[in-house]
Structure 1
Amino acid sequence: MESLPLEVVTDATFTDRVLDADVPVVVLYWATWCAPCRQLLPIMEELAGWYRDRVRIVRIDTDAATATPQAQGVHGVPTVQLFRSGAEVARFQGARTKIELTEAIDGLLAGELSA
């Protein structure tokens, strides 16, 4: 499976790239100093390759972009949010396994998660 670098989303681009997206979106809130975030990043990049045409997977650095995490109620990193049609349908805080993330994304695609 080919990994893809995650698109970096900022406070300025969050609405366009996440809330107004025409595909489901997975957002990784992370920070460079966060060890669990650094462990999660390659898993998310692998999943970005796997789901390339079906789901947009992005990351937002909570040290560089502070307004969006605050507005979204994100209080710790890593946090993963799943969105469909601009609405949050699931959220996980803390490190997750590839299996847990895959199950969540599959549920997002199947419409099993709802706001």
Structure 2
Amino acid sequence: MSTEVTDATFEETVLKSDKPVLVDFWAPWCGPCRMVSPIVDQIAEENTEKLNVVKVNTDENLETASKYGITSIPALYVFKDGEVAKTIIGARPKPALEDELSDFI
């Protein structure tokens, strides 16, 4: 299961993680975000040993969304060693997402 992360917890949870972290930037009003959310949850459950998965509500965490230039959602960012290692913009079916994340899962 993925964890909600806020501006206050982003650095500790994501940037200081000892394994890669998939961050799902989303908002409640975003239809494609709601479509991709269960897929992200499945990937989280199937890859708990290799990848942490968190969600950031861009409406409630403007500082983090702004820092990473989030202008289109859903935006999936993989952070590794505190840096953005992969960016996936827009909803995708599960096989496509798994293919995009193959370096991390």
Same fold (TM over 0.5): yes
Please state if 1:66 is matched with 2:62. Answer: yes
Whether contact under 8 Å (2:26, 2:58) holds in the other structure is: yes
Q: Deviations over 1:57-80 (max 9, x none)?
A: 110000011000100111121100
Backbone CA RMSD of aligned residues: 1.0
Q: What residue is the counterpart of 1:112 in the other structure?
A: none
Deviation at 1:86, TM superposition (A): 0.8
TM-score, normalised with respect to structure 2: 0.95
Whether contact under 8 Å (1:26, 1:80) holds in the other structure is: yes
Whether contact under 8 Å (1:23, 1:56) holds in the other structure is: yes
Please state if 1:27 is matched with 2:29. Answer: no
Q: What residue is the counterpart of 1:103 in the other structure?
A: 99
Q: Please, which runs of 5 or more residues in structure 1 have no aligned partner?
A: 110-115
Q: Please, which runs of 5 or more residues in structure 2 have no aligned partner?
A: none
Deviation at 1:108, TM superposition (A): 2.6
Letter in 1 for 2:52: R
| Aligned residue runs from structure 1 range 1-115, under 5 A | 4=1, 6-109=2-105
Identity rate of aligned residues, in percent?
A: 33
TM-score, normalised with respect to structure 1: 0.87
Deviation at 1:53, TM superposition (A): 1.5
| Runs of 4+, deviation exceeding 3 Å | none
Answer 1 or 2: higher relative contact order, Cα 8 Å, separation at least 6.
2
Q: Secondary structure at the match of 2:73?
A: coil
Whether contact under 8 Å (1:84, 1:108) holds in the other structure is: no
Letter in 2 for 1:48: A
Q: What residue is the counterpart of 1:113 in the other structure?
A: none
Structure 2 distance, partners of 1:25, 1:101, is 14
Aligned length in residues? 105
